[in-house]
Structure 1
């Protein structure tokens, strides 16, 4: 209300909110926004529904808080790409950071994927502003490296999309990956195997080639 200052959140209130958000992450990542219910979240959090509603009156408030935190986490690996660095170590590190996220934050990845599949109705403004601005910035970095002859020329946006797609696959389709690899290769080592493969795939493809090779392959 006008003239009133918002009361600071106490330690106990913050702890309760964290418990609710952790429970909601599990429920949303399994059922999506539409399939998740306040009752499911309350049960997962180990509290009554009225108690939960005291901290978050609506389901969309919980979801919005989770998505807002998630997008900051999602942007961090790309933000760390240094325009003044050597492009190959920078791109290699970016691939590694994205795979580490797939390994360490699979529920968050599924939450984000579910939101995208629904048309991103709750975070479209964040995507059109925060995410787009960052990708535009890093696309300019990649283009500068191309202009300097440090990496092969390609579409920087689709390069970023490809890294997203291949790394997040190991979170969103983890059950499939482990089932296909089998017990011998489906353990924690699968992420290191994936990192080595993706590094080779992208870095080999970005290695500048002699012009004569490009002519032989039909490229101008």
Structure 2
């Protein structure tokens, strides 16, 4: 006879409830925007009482900021190998793979971010002016180092980052358009891999990325 599963601890229950709430909030904010979303809609999506939401997240804004920060943290993790890579071939390739995988698995989060920024970031402007600015300057320094080492062409690091963001996040933000152009079907595993390969080839060739060279 199988042993009965043990009851969840308070910490585990809290973690599970927060996960449910954040997943539901991501979808509701992506569909309705900050203004159109309500705590009741999010509670219904999560299958939890509205009181639970206010227990974990006292206000809609606090929940919204958590959703935005979560997608940004995913993007930060995607750049870890970028920072430590010996050059753009390895670093940018890995970054594109990771960013496109996030777009595939968490499209709603990317849409929330895009909608917020397109509305001039009324809720997270302070986040853009601090965390995003610091992160961007750090990545620009890495790209500039690769340029100085002769591992890629002398392009503007800032605009290269903009292109990387726009291209990889397109697969989330315009997912419906992509599905429509794909005969109304989501991209298959093979199509996702082909898309990653194409994006990497176009961008790396475009910046003249080169493997490490002997001096």
What TM-score results when the alignment is normalised by the length of structure 1? 0.82
> How far is 1:43 from its partner?
1.2
- Within the alignment, does 1:174 sit opposite 2:175 as a pair? yes
Query: Aligned ranges for residues 82-101 of structure 1 at < 5 Å?
Result: 82=83, 85-101=86-102
Q: Which residue of 1 aligns with 2:54?
A: 53
1:38-68 deviation digits (Å, cap 9, x = unpaired)? 1211211223333433333321121122222
* Unaligned ranges ≥5, structure 2: 1-9, 211-215
Shift in alpha-carbon separation, 1:183–1:55, aligned structure 2, 3 A: closer
How far apart, in 2, do the equivalents of 1:16 and 1:83 lie?
35
Moved more, 25-34 or 74-83: 74-83
Counterpart secondary structure, 1:152: coil
How far apart, in 2, do the equivalents of 1:137 and 1:182 lie?
41
Larger CA Rg, structure 1 vs 2: 1
> How far is 1:208 from its partner?
6.7
1:70-97 deviation digits (Å, cap 9, x = unpaired)? 2211222223313551321211111111
Q: Which residue of 2 aligns with 1:131?
A: 132
1:153-209 deviation digits (Å, cap 9, x = unpaired)? 111110011011011101111111121132689433332121111111111112279
Q: Which residue of 2 aligns with 1:196?
A: 197
What TM-score results when the alignment is normalised by the length of structure 2? 0.84
Q: What root-mean-square deviation, in Å, do the aligned CA atoms of Structure 1 and Structure 2 show?
A: 2.2
Shift in alpha-carbon separation, 1:26–1:88, aligned structure 2, 3 A: same
Q: Which residue of 2 aligns with 1:24?
A: 25
Q: Which residue of 1 aligns with 2:66?
A: 65
Shift in alpha-carbon separation, 1:83–1:141, aligned structure 2, 3 A: farther
How far apart, in 2, do the equivalents of 1:79 and 1:10 lie?
29
Counterpart secondary structure, 2:83: coil
Query: Aligned ranges for residues 153-164 of structure 1 at < 5 Å?
Result: 153-164=154-165
User: In the alignment, is the contact (CA less than 8 A) between 1:110 and 1:172 conserved in 2?
Assistant: yes
Q: Which residue of 2 aligns with 1:145?
A: 146
Shift in alpha-carbon separation, 1:153–1:28, aligned structure 2, 3 A: same
How far apart, in 2, do the equivalents of 1:54 and 1:94 lie?
37
User: In the alignment, is the contact (CA less than 8 A) between 1:42 and 1:49 conserved in 2?
Assistant: yes
How far apart, in 1, do the equivalents of 2:48 and 2:101 lie?
32
Shift in alpha-carbon separation, 1:149–1:13, aligned structure 2, 3 A: closer
Counterpart secondary structure, 1:81: helix
Query: Aligned ranges for residues 199-214 of structure 1 at < 5 Å?
Result: 199-207=200-208
